[in-house]
Chains A and B, each alone.
Chain A
Amino acid sequence: MEGNMNLSLKVWRQKNANSEGNFQQYDVKGISEDMSFLEMFDVLNERLINEGETPVAFDHDCREGICGMCSMYINGEPHGPNKGVTTCQLHMRSFKSGDTITVEPWRAKAFPIVKDLAVNRSAFDRIMAAGGYVSVNTGNAQDANSLPIPKDNADDAFAAAACIGCGACVAACKNASAMLFTSAKISQLSLLPQGQAERTIRAENMVAQMDIEGFGACTNTGACEAECPKGISLENIARMNREYYGAVLSSK
C-alpha cells in the first residue's frame, strides 16, 4: 500500500518504566492516506527493524475499534483529532502531507509507562475486581429473555457497557480521573436487575479502589465524554455519584 504522504513524527521513546524518556523525530515517506495510524507506525517499525534499531512499542490488538488496546495521545488528543474513533480507526487521510505529528503515551500516575507508547492499564482491572461483577456462583446460563428487562433500561445499560476500557478518558482528563470508566462499569450493572443484589457495596468498593490506584477527582470539564471513542455519556458519572452516596449510606 504505497502512498504519497510524507510526515514528520515526534514520538515519545522510553526504554522502560524506570528510565528517562525523550522525543525522537522520525520522517516517514510514501504513506497512503488509506492506512490507519497504526499501519503508518508498522511502516516506521519495519524500517527501524531493517536499520537495526529498536521498533516503537505500542499497544494494539483487534485493529477494528472494539478491543480498547490502542492508546496513543496524538497532537494533544487521545486517539487523535477525530471524534468517536480509536487510534486504529484513525486514518491518515485525517492528516496532510508535510504535517508534524506529536505522539505521546497516556500520561497518568495510575498508568505507568511500560515502554515507549505502551502503558500499564491494569489499574482498570483492579477497579473491576473491586466490584464490577455480579456474583452468580451456581447453575447454567439462563435462557435468553427469561428475565424480562424494559427496552429503555437495556439500551441504557448497553450504552454504558460499550466502554472498551481504553483509558482515553483518563488521558484526556486534566486530573487523570477514571470516573467515566468507573461510572460506565457501575452503570451497566446498576441498570439491570442482575446488578441489584450487590448495589450497596459495588460503587463504594469501586470508587475506593479508583482512589487507591491514584486517579484524580472529577472537575466535570466533559473532556472525557468528548474524547471517548465509544461516546460514553457524562450521565454515567452523575449516576455513579448517586450510586456512591446511596451505597455509603446503606452499606453495612
Chain B
Amino acid sequence: MSWVTKTLTSSLGRKLLMAITGLSLIAFLVVHCGINACIFLNDGGETFNEAAEFMAHNWLIRASEVGLMLGFLIHIVDGLMLWKSNSEKRPVKYAVVKGEANSTWYSRSMGLLGTLLLIFLIIHLRHFWVVSRFTDVITSGEKTLYAEMLEVFQNPIVVVVYVFGCISLGYHLLHGFQSAFQTMGWNHPKYTPFIKSLGTGFSIIVSIIFAAMPIAMHFGWVA
C-alpha cells in the first residue's frame, strides 16, 4: 500500500476526506442558496432564470460540476463506510446510554442525518437537475426553471419532503461545519469560537432560506 492510500484509509485520513469534501459542499451551498434566493426578488423569476441559464452554460461552471459530483460521491461513500466500520467497534451495546449528558443528539446522528439527506438529494436531483440537464424542456424554451419550480412545489407532499430535507440539512451542518475544522486540526482559542458561531449562523440561515422557497412558492407568496 502506498503511503497516500495508507493515510487516506486510516481513521484520521477518512475523517480528513469527510472534512475537505464537507467544506467543499458547504461552498457549493453558498452558491446554490445565493442563486435560489433570487426568487425572493419577486420579479417573476427573471433574475433567477438568468442565473440558472449562466450556471447551465458557462464552461467553467460545468467543469466544476464534475468536481462537485466527485465531492458528493466521496462524502457519501466515505461517510457510509465510516458509519459501518464505527458501528462495528462496539459489538455488545450498552443497556443504558445517557447520551444527552455528554453530547448533542445531532452530533451522534450524522450518519442518519446524512442518509436522510442522500434520499432527499436523489428526489431533488430528479426534480430539477435531471430536467434541466438531461431533457430539453428548459433549453428548448418550453419552460423556464422557475416555472418548473412553481409547478413542482404545487404538490404539498413535495413541500413537506423539502422542508424535512432542509431540517436534516440544518442539523447536519450544525455539527458538520465546526467538526470539519476540528478534523483538519484547526482548533485554537483565537478563532474556534468564531468558527463555531459562524457555523451555527450559517446552518440556521441556509436551511431557513432553502425551506422558505418551496413554502413561498406553494402558497403563492412569490409570483
Q: A-side interface residues toward B, CB under 8 Å?
A: 10, 21, 23, 73, 75-77, 81, 102, 104, 107-110, 172, 174-177, 179, 207-208, 210-211, 214-223, 226-227, 234-235, 237-242, 244-245, 248
Contact = CB atoms under 8 A, between A and B. Distances in A.
A198 B94 CA distance: 39
B182 A220 contact: yes
A73 B87 CA distance: 19
Contacts, number: 130
B89 A176 contact: yes
B102 A223 contact: yes
A211 B85 CA distance: 11
Given A75-B98, A172-B102, A241 B86 contact: no
A218 B11 contact: yes
A92 to B, nearest CB: 19
18 contacts: A73-B94, A77-B98, A102-B96, A107-B90, A107-B92, A109-B90, A109-B91, A175-B90, A176-B90, A179-B11, A215-B89, A216-B86, A217-B14, A219-B108, A219-B179, A220-B183, A222-B103, A238-B185
Interface of B: 3, 6-7, 10-12, 14-16, 82, 85-99, 101-104, 107-108, 110, 175, 178-179, 182-187
B12 A244 contact: yes
Contacts of B92: 21, 107
A219 B95 contact: no
A75 B96 contact: yes
Pick from A75, A179, A220 the residue with the most CB of B within 10 Å: A220
B89 A109 contact: yes
Contact of B183 (A218, A235, A248): A218
A216 B89 contact: yes
Given A77-B101, A220-B175, A242-B185, 12 more contacts: A102-B96, A109-B89, A207-B10, A207-B11, A210-B11, A211-B10, A211-B11, A216-B85, A217-B86, A220-B179, A238-B182, A241-B12
B10 A81 contact: no
A212 B15 CA distance: 17
B185 A218 contact: no
A221 B98 contact: no
B94 to A, nearest CB: 6
A240 B197 CA distance: 24
Given A222-B107, A237-B182, A241-B183, A174 B86 contact: yes
A181 to B, nearest CB: 13
A107 B108 CA distance: 17
Contacts of A177: 11, 86, 89
A221 B12 contact: no
Contacts of B89: 108-110, 175-177, 214-216
B219 to A, nearest CB: 38
Contacts of A210: 11
